[in-house]
């Protein structure tokens, strides 16, 4: 009897879980700030900052410093033009490699507008202003907010809640990048190592997203252009 191909595709298995590291508040903040900078678009200014970042990378535990050092080494070896090309191919052309966290939960649907407003309200609740050309759910911006949030205040709780509520998206991004053997997987992996372990329910939602991808819809996004762009910045006395 001839074999018959199955009519359904088996669900993909989860990639190996990344163990959470016990980091001090200072090391966690440094990890998030470095990841924020390294996940941003690699223009000339980005490359110019790399030498200054190395001492801060070296000061972190080896589980964080080694992958970040490898990432910086690869970027410098590739050069500005090639690294920019890889960045665009990775993050602009692949649905499961979006750096916009709300995309994983809402996709290109009308619900995304509400999700973006939630980010705005979270930043404002912490007393932060936003002044950037990107949307508020941009992972580098969220990580910068987390890095700058005072661990002794409610700001850190708000930043932690933002990252926790979009943990599935971060894990899907990591899985996609690792599946491509992308150098950016090294950076996102350090972010996941800095976060608390995920529970069973989160892992199930994470698996669903890996298999199905973000939701899709073709209408309802025209009003998003009215949202004010911002970047979280620390409040300093004049």
| CATH number of the domain where residue 52 is located | 1.10.3480
pLDDT at 110: 64
Nearest 10 degrees: Cα torsion 175, 178, 182, 188: 60
Contact 200, 89 (CB under 8 A): no
175: in domain: yes
Distance CA 42, CA 188 (A): 16
pLDDT at 215: 45
182: in domain: yes
Listed as ranges, residues in the chain with pLDDT below 50 are: 1-12, 206, 209-238
Exposed/middle/buried for residue 215 (C-beta within 10 Å: 0-12, 13-18, 19+): middle
4: in domain: no
pLDDT one-digit tens code per residue, 150-182:
877 888 888 888 888 888 889 889 999 999 999
Exposed/middle/buried for residue 80 (C-beta within 10 Å: 0-12, 13-18, 19+): middle
Distance CA 50, CA 76 (A): 8
Domain span including residue 205: 25-221
Contact 150, 128 (CB under 8 A): no
Using alpha carbons, select from 68, 75, 112 the residue that is nearest to residue 90: 75
13: in domain: no
Domain count, the chain: 1
73: in domain: yes
User: Nearest 5 degrees, angle CA 138-CA 74-CA 164?
Assistant: 30
Contact 158, 121 (CB under 8 A): no
**Sign of the four-CA dihedral 165, 168, 173, 177:** positive
Distance CA 213, CA 168 (A): 11
120: in domain: yes
6: in domain: no
102: in domain: yes
């Amino acid at each position: 009897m001839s074999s018959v191909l199955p009519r359904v595709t088996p669900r993909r298995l989860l990639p190996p879980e990344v163990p959470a590291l016990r980091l001090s508040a200072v090391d966690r903040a440094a990890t998030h700030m470095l990841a924020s900078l390294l996940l941003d678009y690699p223009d000339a200014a980005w490359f110019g900052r790399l030498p200054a970042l190395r001492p801060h990378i070296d000061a972190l535990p080896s589980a964080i410093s080694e992958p970040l050092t490898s990432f910086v080494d690869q970027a410098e070896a590739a050069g500005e033009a090639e690294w920019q090309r890889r960045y665009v191919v990775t993050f602009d052309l692949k649905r499961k490699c979006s750096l916009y966290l709300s995309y994983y939960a809402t996709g290109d649907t009308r619900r995304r507008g509400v999700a973006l407003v939630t980010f705005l309200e979270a930043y404002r609740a912490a007393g932060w202003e936003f002044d950037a050309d990107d949307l508020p759910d941009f992972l580098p911006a969220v990580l910068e907010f987390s890095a700058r949030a005072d661990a002794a205040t409610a700001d850190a709780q708000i930043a932690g809640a933002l990252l926790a509520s979009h943990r599935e998206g971060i894990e899907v991004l990591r899985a996609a990048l690792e599946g491509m053997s992308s150098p950016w997987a090294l950076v996102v992996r350090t972010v996941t190592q800095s976060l608390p372990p995920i529970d069973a329910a989160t892992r199930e939602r994470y698996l669903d997203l890996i298999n199905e991808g973000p939701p899709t819809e073709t209408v309802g996004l025209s009003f998003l252009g009215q949202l004010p762009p911002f970047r979280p910045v620390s409040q300093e006395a004049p």
